[in-house]
């Protein structure tokens, strides 16, 4: 399942696993420090903040051409633009520095990091293996002209975006996807509309001045159900052999899409 439902919310399973791992680390750190009358909860929270800031800044610096220097676009973390290893390194350096200063926190901090981190690595590894075992769905869609279409007929790396006109993040990322369709060579981008009529889609395109290729209809949102995602937008990245390489839930920025295409290639 790409998304996990919490009430009326549909969240990325990867983020849910990360949140559970951090909660476990907090619990272990609290229990390990209780007997020593020391708390590492604040320290773990600070390490998380340092990690997120470092991961985001490193991403923005790497893809700086997509961000304006004096705008706040680099603060918009909804695109999921983070680099893992710089974030982990920053957290380790900060945690090591604090542990060097405060000897009492060393044992509970180490236990929290090992157990929380171990849970995250194992659960994320299992989820990634499950995700990458998914193959390109063999099902029928329809062009705006009503012609039956299938994803399995497309050769080469493939990006599939599931969207709807009523979805604000979907609307915001459409220009990014249109530009990518114009600029990318060797990667096909297919936009699959979830459950709307041809008239609704055509009105949206006209009102927004968009000219999109490979725009298909999925009248019953069968694709979202097949891949296990109820969140819109959902973007899927497939290798040439039809295996799922990656998935992104939520709005894509130009930098986020470039990063995902690089990983796909």
So what's the pLDDT on residue 72?
A: 66
So what's the pLDDT on residue 197?
A: 93
So what's the pLDDT on residue 6?
A: 59
- Dihedral of CA atoms 234, 240, 246, 251 in degrees, nearest 10, equals -30
Round to whole Å and give the CA distance between 99 and 197.
59
So what's the pLDDT on residue 161?
A: 96
Quote the pTM value.
0.86
Round to whole Å and give the CA distance between 104 and 36.
8
Round to whole Å and give the CA distance between 236 and 247.
5
Residues of the chain scoring pLDDT < 70: 1, 3-11, 69-74
So what's the pLDDT on residue 7?
A: 53
Can you read off the two tokens belonging to residue 120? 């995250």
Residue 14 parent element (H or E)? helix 13-34
Round to whole Å and give the CA distance between 105 and 265.
43
So what's the pLDDT on residue 71?
A: 66
So what's the pLDDT on residue 108?
A: 94
Q: Which residues pair with 234 in a beta bridge?
A: 162, 249
So what's the pLDDT on residue 39?
A: 87
What residue ranges define each of the domains in the chain, with the CATH number in brackets? 3-132 (no CATH), 140-264 (3.40.30.10)
So what's the pLDDT on residue 13?
A: 83
């Amino acid at each position: 399942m790409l998304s996990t439902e919490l009430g009326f919310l549909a969240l990325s399973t990867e983020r849910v696993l990360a949140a559970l791992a951090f909660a476990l680390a907090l619990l272990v750190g609290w229990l390990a420090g209780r007997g020593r009358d020391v708390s590492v909860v604040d320290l773990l929270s600070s390490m998380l903040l340092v990690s997120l800031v470092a991961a985001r800044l490193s991403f923005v610096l790497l893809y700086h051409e997509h961000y304006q220097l004096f705008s706040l676009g680099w603060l918009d973390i909804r695109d999921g633009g983070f680099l893992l290893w710089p974030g982990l390194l920053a957290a380790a350096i900060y945690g090591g520095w604090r542990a060097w200063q405060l000897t009492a926190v060393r044992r509970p901090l180490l236990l929290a990091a090992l157990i929380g981190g171990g849970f995250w690595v194992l659960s994320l590894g299992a989820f990634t293996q499950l995700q990458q075992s998914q193959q390109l769905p063999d099902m029928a869609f329809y062009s705006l002209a009503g012609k039956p279409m299938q994803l399995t007929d497309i050769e080469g790396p493939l990006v599939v975006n599931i969207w709807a006109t009523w979805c604000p993040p979907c609307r915001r990322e459409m220009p990014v996807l249109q530009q990518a369709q114009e600029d990318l060579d060797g990667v096909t981008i297919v936009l699959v509309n979830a459950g709307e009529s041809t008239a609704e889609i055509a009105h949206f395109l006209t009102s927004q001045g968009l000219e999109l290729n490979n725009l298909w209809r999925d009248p019953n949102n069968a694709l979202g159900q097949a891949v296990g995602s109820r969140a819109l937008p959902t973007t899927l990245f497939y290798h040439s052999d039809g295996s799922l390489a990656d998935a992104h839930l939520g709005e894509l920025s130009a930098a986020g899409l470039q990063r995902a295409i690089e990983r796909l290639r």
